[in-house]
Amino acid sequence: MTILPTPAPAPWGSAGAAPLLDVEDLHVEFRTRSGVVNAVNGVSYTLAEGETLAILGESGSGKSVSAQAIMGILDSPPAEITGGKIWFEGRDLLTLPAEEQRLVRGPGISMIFQDALSSLNPVYSVGFQIGEMFRAHRGTSRKEAKQKAIELMDRVRIPAAAQRVNDYPHQFSGGMRQRVMIAMAIALDPRILIADEPTTALDVTVQAQVMDLLKDLQRDTGMGLVLITHDLGVVNEVADNVAVMYAGRIVERGTVTDVFSNPGHPYTEGLMSSVPQVESDGGRLVPITGQPPNLSAIPSGCPFHPRCPRRRLGAQALPGRDCAGDVPPLRLVVPGREAACHYSEEVLGV
């Protein structure tokens, strides 16, 4: 896989129209018998109309939990949103009554889940499940909902949609099931689509087809797209901006071109170094040492410092910048780029 620069939009945080989505200082924890798991720790980002924002990071970094909080589908208990705001069209979703939230999620914000087979109900046809969106939100008849389902299956390029509308999920391939999930997600023309690992378990060719489909739909509708993934190649090909998460925090964000060409956080730098390059003559990859932290016992200071080759501790650190004792804020390092590292200027070479 080769990481190549792609054209990027205006820098992160530049002036413009009001965002479709504005997540402010979101905190989510899971209260279990063995302790409190701090899954999301102060996440903030915005999404504009027509923008693709990639949320990037290792498994367990809080990507999916933050998306589930936006969708209001966290299991509570044990999950609890303990702070923050989620603004959509001038309303804080976290303060809306349950019925108003239901009216927003679907027509306003929709989501594609990463495991299509387990997300679809095996005892109902795919046409019935797609049509349920119209029956539940618009009160259409079963006959009309079925016709809408056929139209959507055509729209997401499922061959012979009229003949396959009564088939069941197990009768479709993994790629076709993912297209069914996309059809359900876009049924009500949402303003925002959250795609949680939409290409997981798909082969490379089908991955490309699914991502091309999402790009085409976005171009046709102008919807904002939040892409949750750990696949750097997919991010590079389709995203405008990227937010890198680690231990429930955003540690770097900016345009894909800037972040991929010159990472400003050692964790992002490590992710880039662990990707094989086609132009390389061979040799060993450079993995990030150690393991992601236990979210019920996040290290003090910078949560990445136990794995960071650039860490400065004690007398080595500048005043107020001890990597093990001082939490680095997410700050503007260079125009259009934010990073949560005490020494980002050195990482960037500025």
Domain ranges of the chain: 116-187
Identify the pLDDT of residue 13.
Answer: 43
Identify the pLDDT of residue 6.
Answer: 34
The tens-digit pLDDT sequence of the chain (350 residues) is: 333 333 333 444 444 457 899 999 999 999 998 899 999 999 999 999 999 999 999 988 999 999 999 999 999 889 999 999 999 988 999 999 988 888 888 889 999 987 777 889 999 999 999 999 899 888 899 999 999 999 999 999 999 999 999 999 999 998 899 899 999 999 988 999 999 988 877 788 888 888 888 898 898 888 999 999 888 888 998 999 999 999 999 999 999 999 999 999 999 999 988 877 666 666 677 889 999 999 999 999 999 999 999 999 999 999 999 999 999 999 999 999 999 999 999 888 77
Identify the pLDDT of residue 278.
Answer: 61
**Distance (Å, rounded) from C-alpha 62 to C-alpha 187?**
27
**Sign of the Cα pseudo-torsion (235, 16, 22, 20, in order):** negative
The burial of 50, by beta-carbon neighbours within 10 Å (0-12 exposed, 13-18 middle, 19 or more buried), is given as: middle
Identify the pLDDT of residue 250.
Answer: 97
**Distance (Å, rounded) from C-alpha 26 to C-alpha 30?**
14
How is residue 344 annotated by DSSP?
H
**Cα dist from 169 to 50, 129, 147, 156, 157, whole Å:** 31, 10, 18, 16, 16
Identify the pLDDT of residue 283.
Answer: 67
Three-state DSSP state, 61: coil
